[in-house]
Every structure is written in C-alpha cells, then in structure tokens.
Amino acid sequence: MQISNAQSRAIAHGTGPAMVLAGPGSGKTLVITQRTRYLIEELHVKPQEILVITFTKAAAQEMRQRFCAVCGLPGVTFGTFHAVFFGILKHAYRYTSANIMTEDDKFRLLRQLLQKLPPETLAEAQDEKELLSDLAAEISLVKNEQISLANYYSRSCPEDVFRRIYRQYEEVHRAQGMLDFDDMLVCTYELLAQRKDILEAWQKRFRYILVDEFQDINLLQYRILRMLAEPENNLFIVGDDDQSIYRFRGAKPEIMLNFTKDYPAAETILLDRNYRSVAPVIEGALKVIGENDHRYDKQIRDVRGDGPKIDLQELDSQEHETLYLVKCIKKSVEEGIPASEIAVLFRTNQGAGPFAERLMEFNLPFEMRDALPNIYEHWIARDIFAYLHLAREGLDRAEFLQVMNRPKRYIGRDSVDAKTVSFETLRTYYEDKEWMLDRIDRMETDLKVLARMTPYAGVNYIRRGIGYEDYLTEYAKSRRMKPEELSDLLDEIQQGAKPYKTCAEWFAHIEEYKQKLAERRVSRRQQGDAITLATLHGSKGLEFQEVFLVDVNEGVIPHRKAVLEADIEEERRLFYVGMTRAKDRLHIFYTRQRYGKVAEPSQFLDVLLKEGPEKSLRIIKK
C-alpha cells in the first residue's frame, strides 16, 4: 500500500504531542509501526525509550510482529495498559503473577460475600452469574472513575448493600496481597503520584509514548499516561472518536475530544483515506455518524471506488428476516463469496438465537465470536417449563418450589414436604387461612387450564393469566432493571413455541437445539470456512466482504436502555462500527413487527430513508 500524504505527516511528526484521527480502514497500524521505525532511524531515539500501548494482548503482539517485519530492532516495549502498569508495580513492590487475581478468583470472592449477607438485605437473585457480573463491573467502574463510594449509586442492588460488598471485597483481597486488574491501574497511579523519584525514572525510560485505539481510554489510564509523558510530552495518540463504544467499561470519548485543550500545542492529523470499503458503504456510514453532535468532523475519501449500493431491506417479521437472510447468504456463496467473508451482526448476544437456529436448520456453517447463549437455559425459560410440566406431568416438588411464589402466593416451603405435591395437603396445611385457600384454588385451576393449551397459548397464559409478567416487573424493580429486558426474553421464548402444536414437540426441538449447540462448541475451532455471527461490540477491528446488520429496529439499536443524549450517540457510534466492517456489500434489515407487536425502523436510518434511493442506497420495502 502506497503511503498517503496524511500518513507521511503522522509518521514524520517530530517531538511533542500529536493526535492522529484514524477512521476505519485508514491504515493506522502502518502509521504506528512506521513512526516507531522513524523515531529510531531518523530521530535517533533509543528503542528502549519507546513505549507502544494497545488495549489488547493480541493487538500488542500484532504490532510487535509488524514492527519487527519492517525494522527488526529489539528493545521497543509493546504492551497493554495493564501489562505496562503491572511492570511498573513489579519493579516497585516485587509483585509476581501469583499476586494477580483471575476473573474466577474475583467471582469466587464476590459469591462468598453475597452468601454471607443476611437474607433480607438483597432480593433473591434468579441468575447469580448475572448479578456477580453486574457487581464486578460496578466495582471496576468505581475504581477506574475514582468515584467516592459515598457518592456512587449502584445499578444492581441497594446502595448500602453495594457499599458493604465493595468494602469487604477490598479488605479481603488486599489482605491476601492480591491485585485485581483494576488495582494495577489504581496502585500505579498512587505509586507515581506519591513517589516522584519513581515517576521520574519511568519518565526518563519512556520518553516517547504511542497509544493505539485512544478513543477507548478511561480516566485513570489517561491520568497515569499524562504523568508518564511529562515533561517532554512526546505523546502520540491514534484513534477514532467515532468508534468509541465502551462507555459501559469506563471509556470516555470526551478525553479524545478534549485532547487539544489538554495539549494546545498538539498537531492534529486526519488519515482521510479509507482503504477498506467501497464508496457507497463509506458515504452511508458518514451520513449516519454525521448526526452525532460531539465528534471531530471528518471528510473521508474512498480509495477503492464505486461498488454495490447499501441494501436497506424492510421485512414483515423476524421469521421472514431469518429466512431472507438464509436466502441472501446462499446466493452469495453460490456467487463465490467464501462463508468466512460473510458476517451477521446484531446488537446483543441474545439477539443471535433466532439467526443461529435458522442457520442450523439449513446446515449453513457458522461460528460465534462470543459464546452463543441458549435462551432455553435462562431462568425465565426454566420457570415457564416448570409451569408446563406441572400442568401436564404432575406436581413434582422441585418444580413446584421453583414457581409456587412466582407470582407471590405466600406458600411456605414447610408446607411442601412430599416428593409429589398435593393441593389437598396444601389446603389442609392452610385450612385456618381462607385467603391462602383462595390462592391455592386459583393455582390448581390455572394449571388445569394450562394443561389443555398449545405451547404458544400456554406461555401467553402463564404471562398474563397466571401473572408471571407481573412477577417479573417486581423482580426487575428490585434489581434496578428495566422490565422490558425480561419481557423481551419472554417474547422470544413465546415466539419459539409458536410452530409447535404440543409441548412434547416443542421440548424435543429444544433438546435437539441444545445438542447442536453443544456439538458446535466442540467443533467451532475446526469450522474453517464459516459465517461469522457477532455482536456489534465483538465485530470491532474485523472486516468482511459482505455484512448483514439485522434487527435494526428502534429499541434494539439504539437499545431501549439508551435514554440520555450521550447514550444515543454511543449507540450511533456502535451502528457506525457495524456499517464500516463491510468491504464490498452491506445489508441492513429491519422488521415491521417484533413478537407480534408493531416495530419501527431505527432512528439511525432516518438520515438514509429520508433521502430515498440514490447512488449509494437501495431501499426495498414490503
């Protein structure tokens, strides 16, 4: 690839700070590796004085390999923030890898702390793994944002409970001499802030600092970076504010947007050529991201020239969407596009289910970038199955205990002691409480009604007739979730039941699906030529000849959780990342209905839809 004028300017930047705005497919890796070579060969900087920071271990390894291929000189430090900062801590405190807590260690400790809480302090978590994950993420956020614990309001549990867990978590693992990944940042910041001699030593060691994917930086990382870069401030940052998509991890696009305020002398260079995508993809993506207010304005030129128009497709329902997807993929494969050059991208991991099922049905090979969740193993699905089993197969005690108070009926565990539950025994136990007898009678009647229904009608009756949806609303409130997060799962479970006339047929399909998933997990590394299924987050950094963006409906993308302007702008950046994965062909699908309810196309499509068909867009409506 011939080096452009903008790339040459970036590579040959002299001393002092610089910001390189590097959009999708602009050749930023080449710029970083060639600049590193330039520092050594042209500015005569010692390799040991150069630090190149990336956000993933794989990116650091790739950067090192690319540099060695063009230069071959040892001594330059390539590493992630955590690896570099842990190296600083090792020199100061003689830490070893044995002092690092794994994620399993972290979850194990949090689980122990939860189990020690008095039962009344926290509503029963139906999915412990989900709660642990939420707590771990919030602890990480408090540390990285350096938020005062007294001023932090938890999203997953009451404030007093979160603060108690946080303090105990810190006390226990620090007493054991252990560091979690966030401590590597916290302790490095504290060390360098308190020990000027140590800070000065590292400032002299790393006189030139280059940072890749700068848009993903968080506040604590930036503060440490600024200290290390002083006093020379040879800080060379490369990134794209339009691809900042990790606010939930603490990344702050504002840091990059304010970089020239922090460093007024910084040179700003725009890599204005996209070597990846054809013109229609670039034009459409720029129109979408141009709707964001808080960004650097960029004029990006295509290098590859014209290509197929973006295919913007309206479909009637999700069933039609999955069938149409299969039809398009089959056609592309027949035309010679390798399956490995085709990607299906969706907003959340849970959204993969219907598409994975359909690809399995047609024996199309695919691989998931992340583990494919089985919705039928979710605790909500298990509750639904328990009700259906109780209605048809008798009152098994374990399943009865599972749902007897979902919704709340105030039935105590002490009243259910036999392997098979009897409503007559229950009535005898509560014979002096007439209000309880009414509840028991109603449950028995509900199960009799449920026994005569098809799976689809049965799920609907459990939701609305029995009151399970009301229970989920109360549960969501106790966990500080949006009820829609849980009702969406119910919608998908109910939709999955629709094709089946009997529960036996539906359960047989679920078991077959479970087995296929298990087989796929075992064989996915040997897939070879396979379609990629990935979330929009998981697709970052990848590229494919043909990309399908599916379920581009309001409430999905942008996600219904996105309420504030900053949230909407992040969701638009996420959509932009998805669009710019496409090299040749880009398809965008939205549906007129989801789970039997009217659905609207995403607001992100407005800028495309209002202009109608043009040279970069092909709109197809039912």
Under the banding of pLDDT at 50, 70 and 90, the label for residue 523 is: low
- Of 483, 586, 562, 484, the closest CA to residue 245 belongs to 562
pLDDT for res 483? 85
In the prediction, which pLDDT does 159 show? 84
| Ranges 366-370, 551-555, 587-591: which has the least confidence | 366-370
- From 137-146, 545-554, 555-564, 604-613, the region with the lowest mean pLDDT: 604-613
Residues above pLDDT 90, as percent of the chain: 66
Q: Are 54 and 60 in contact (CB under 8 A)?
A: yes
Q: Is the predicted pLDDT of residue 125 greater than 60, yes or no?
A: no
The yes-or-no verdict on residue 600 having pLDDT over 90 is yes
Mind listing the pLDDT tens digit for each residue in 444-498?
999 999 999 999 999 999 999 999 999 999 888 877 778 888 888 899 899 889 9
Nearest to 196 by CA among 223, 230, 237: 230
Specify whether the CB–CB gap between 288 and 575 falls below 8 A: yes
Structure-token pair, residue 199: 């800070």
pLDDT of residue 568: 95
526 is written with which tokens?
């040997």
Residue 16 to residue 152: CA distance in whole angstroms: 37
- Average pLDDT, whole number, for the chain? 90
The pLDDT value recorded for residue 611 is 66
Report the range of poorest mean pLDDT among 142-146, 406-410, 518-522. Answer: 518-522
In this predicted structure, the answer to whether residue 263 has a pLDDT above a threshold of 90 is: yes
The mean pLDDT of 354-366, rounded to a whole number, is: 89
Question: What is the per-residue pLDDT across 28-53, written as a single tens digit (0 to 9) for each?
Answer: 989 999 999 999 999 999 999 999 99
Confidence of residue 10 (pLDDT cuts 50, 70, 90): very high
Mean pLDDT along residues 567-596: 95
In whole angstroms, what separates CA 612 from the centre of its chain?
32
For the entire predicted model, the pTM comes to 0.88
Instruction: Return the structure tokens found at 605.
Output: 């499509």
- Tell me, what's the pLDDT at 312? 93
3-state SS class at 268: strand
345 in Cβ contact with 548 (< 8 Å): yes
CA 535, 540, 543, 547 torsion: positive or negative? positive
Q: Is the peptide bond preceding residue 558 cis, with omega within 30 degrees of 0?
A: yes
Percent helix, strand, coil in the chain (nearest 5)? 55, 15, 30
Q: Indicate if the pLDDT at residue 520 is higher than 80.
A: no
Q: Which amino acid is at 242?
A: D
Packing angle of the helix pair 181-194, 81-93 (nearest 10 deg): 60
**How far apart are alpha carbons 12 and 569 in whole angstroms?**
34
DSSP assignment of 39-106 equals HHHTS---GGGEEEEESSHHHHHHHHHHHHHHT-----EEEEHHHHHHHHHHHHH---GGGBPPHHHH
Can you tell me the distance from the alpha carbon of 415 to that of 417, in angstroms, rounded to the nearest whole number?
A: 6
The answer, yes or no, to whether residue 111 has pLDDT greater than 70, is: yes
Q: What number is the average pLDDT over the span 194-211?
A: 96
pLDDT at 139: 93
In angstroms, the CA 550 to CA 232 distance is 48
pLDDT-wise least confident of 66-70, 78-82, 336-340, 413-417: 66-70
Average pLDDT over residues 414-427: 89
Lowest mean pLDDT among 93-97, 177-181, 200-204, 371-375: 371-375
